[in-house]
Structure 1
Amino acid sequence: MPNANSSLYHKAIVYSTIAVLVIPILATFLYSISSSWGATILPSGFTFDWYSQLWQDPRFIAAFGRSLLVCISALLLSALLIIPAIFVVFYYFPKLNGLMNILILLPFAVPPVVSSVGLLQIYADSSIQIVGTPWILIGTYFTIALPFMYRAIANSFEAINLADLMDAAHLLGASTAQAFFLIILPNLKKGLLASLFLSFSFLLGEFVFSNILVGTRYETLQIYLYNMRQTSGHFTSALVMTYFAFIFLFTWLASRISRGAQ
C-alpha cells in the first residue's frame, strides 16, 4: 500500500505539472481561433481568419525570413568552425578538452544586456557600420550557438572512438583529411543535426540581442511580435501559437535525433 500511495502521489505531481504547462497553451490556441471571446466562458465562435491574416501579412513573412536567414547563417558558421576545432582538440590535444569545456561556457557568463551594451560601445563609432545590420546578429548568434553545438558534437566524438578510427584509416592508406571527411563526419551526423535543431529553436526565440543591436532597422520575428503587441489579442495569439509550433517542431526533432544517436 505505501508503494501504491507513493505512485499515486508521484503521478498527481506529474499530471499537475503537465496541466500547469499545457492549460495556458490550450487557452492561447482557443483564443487564437475564436471570433470573439468576452464575458462568456467559451468563445462565441471559431475561425482561422487570424491565422490567415497573419500569413498574408508581408511584414510577418519578411520578419520570419530575416530570422531564418540570421539563425541559419550563424549555425552554418558555427558548424564550419566548431567541427574542425573539436577534431583538433580530441585528436591532437585531448588534454585541452577540460579547458575547452570551461571556455565554451563563457558566452553565458555575461548577461545578454551587458553584452549588447558592450557591442554597441565597440561598434557604434567603428568605421565598419554593422550595428543595425544582420551581420552583428549573425556574429552574436554564433557565440550563443557555440556552447550547444560544442557539447553535442563533443559527445559524438567521445562515442565514436576517434583515435581508433583514425588509426584504422591511416593503416588503410587514407590521409588525415580523407579520414575526417569520409569517416569521421558521417559518424557525427546525428549529433550535429541534434545540435543544429536545438540551437535553432533557441536562437529563433532570442529577443534581447536583436532588440538592442538592430531593433526595427532589421525586424526579426521576435521584434515583430513585440511591435504587434498592441494589435488584436486574437491576432497576437495566432502569432504566438505559430511561433510556438515552430519551436516545438525543432525541439521535438532535436529530441528524436538525440535519442537515435544514443
Structure 2
Amino acid sequence: MSEGRKWPFYLIVILLALYLIIPLFVTLIYSLATSWSTTILPSGLTLKWYASMFEDPTFINALIRTLLLILVSMAVVLIVMIPTVVIVSMHFPRLEKLFQSIVLLPYAMPGIILASGLLQTYSSLEIPKLILVGGAYFIVVMPYMYQGIRNSLQSVNMIPMIEAAELLGSNQLKIFFSIIIPNIKKGILVSSLLSFSILFGEFTLTNLVVGGNYETIQIYLFRVMQVSGHISSAVVIAYLFVLSLLSLLIILFTNGKKKKQV
C-alpha cells in the first residue's frame, strides 16, 4: 500500500487515540485543579486532592480491604487451578474439551447475573457474604488462569522431562514442584497479574453482594464521586496508574516469554 493511501488509516488511529487520551488528560488536570467550574482553564494547580486522598483513613482501609480480598481469592484460585489444569491436561486429555467448556462459561456471565444468582442461592444459608464475594472472584478469574496455565503447559514438552525424572526416582510431588512449576511460572505470573487487574476494577459483584458493609476501593470511589469531583478524579488517576503498571508488567513478561521461545 502506497503512502498516499495510508493516510486514512493514520487519521483513524490518531482520532481513536485522541478519543481515548483526551478524557484521561482532562481527568488528570481536574484532579490537579484548585478550582475549575466557570473558566476554560483551571484557576490553579495543586496536589492537595492527592494529599487528602492518601491522608484519608477511609481510603487506606478501602485499599487494604481490596488488596486483602483479591490476594486471598487469587491464592485460592492458584492452589485449585494449577494442579487441576496440570492433571487434566497431562493425565486426562480426553476430558480437556469438557473441562475447558465448563471453565470458560464465566466469559458469558455478566457480573450482575452472577451476583443475583449467588444472593438467591445462598441468602437462606448462614454464609458470610464476604466469602460469597471471594467465591465470585474465583469464578470471574478462573478462565484467565486456566488459559494462562494451559498455554504454558502446551508451550513446553513436559512428557520427556517428567519421564526422565521418574526414571531417576523422583516422586510426583517433587516432579510437580521442581519441573512443572518452574516451566510454567511465567504463564502463572502473567495470568495472576491479569487476574489482579480485573479484580481490582470489579465493582458490580462487590457492590451488589456486600455493598457498604465491606468498602473496597471501587465502592469508595463510587461514594466519593458524590462528594468531591476533585478527589474522585485523583482516585481514578491513581487507579489507572496501577492498572497501567500492571498492563506494562504483563506486556514485559509476555514479550520476554516469546523471545525465549524464539
Does TM, scored on the shorter chain, surpass 0.5?
yes
Q: Tell me the number of residue pairs that the alignment of Structure 1 and Structure 2 aligns.
A: 258
What is the distance in 2 between the residues matched to 1:162 and 1:234? 53
What is the distance in 1 between the residues matched to 2:172 and 2:2? 57
Q: Spell out structure 1 runs of 4+ moving beyond 6 A.
A: none
Structure whose residues are more often helix by fraction: 2
Structure 1 residue runs without a partner (length 5+): none
Alignment of 1:76-87 (within 5 A): 76-87=75-86
State the SS of the aligned residue for 2:34.
strand
Give CA-to-partner distance per residue, 1:102-136, whole Å, 9 cap, x none. 1111123332222212211222221x2312xx222
Percentage identity across paired residues of the two chains: 38
What is the distance in 2 between the residues matched to 1:129 and 1:198? 29
RMSD: 1.3
What is the distance in 1 between the residues matched to 2:63 and 2:52? 15
Q: Residue 233 of structure 2 is aligned with which of 225, 230, 237?
A: 237
Matched letter for residue 199 of structure 1: S
Alignment of 1:202-213 (within 5 A): 202-213=198-209
Residue 5 (structure 1) aligned with residue 31 (structure 2): no
Matched letter for residue 95 of structure 2: L
Give CA-to-partner distance per residue, 1:212-244, whole Å, 9 cap, x none. 100000111111111111112111110111111
Contact kept, 8 Å, 1:123 with 1:130, in 2: the verdict is no
What is the distance in 1 between the residues matched to 2:176 and 2:141? 23
Partner of 1:94: 93
Q: Residue 155 of structure 1 is aligned with which of 125, 129, 151?
A: 151
What is the distance in 1 between the residues matched to 2:39 and 2:225? 23
Partner of 1:120: 119
Task: Say which is worse superposed, 114-123 or 149-158, in terms of deviation.
Answer: 114-123
What is the distance in 2 between the residues matched to 1:162 and 1:92? 12
Alignment of 1:138-217 (within 5 A): 138-217=134-213
Give CA-to-partner distance per residue, 1:31-85, whole Å, 9 cap, x none. 0001111222221110000000000000011111111011111111111110000
Partner of 1:75: 74
Partner of 1:257: 253
Residue 248 (structure 1) aligned with residue 244 (structure 2): yes
TM-score normalised over the length of structure 1: 0.94
Contact kept, 8 Å, 1:51 with 1:238, in 2: the verdict is yes
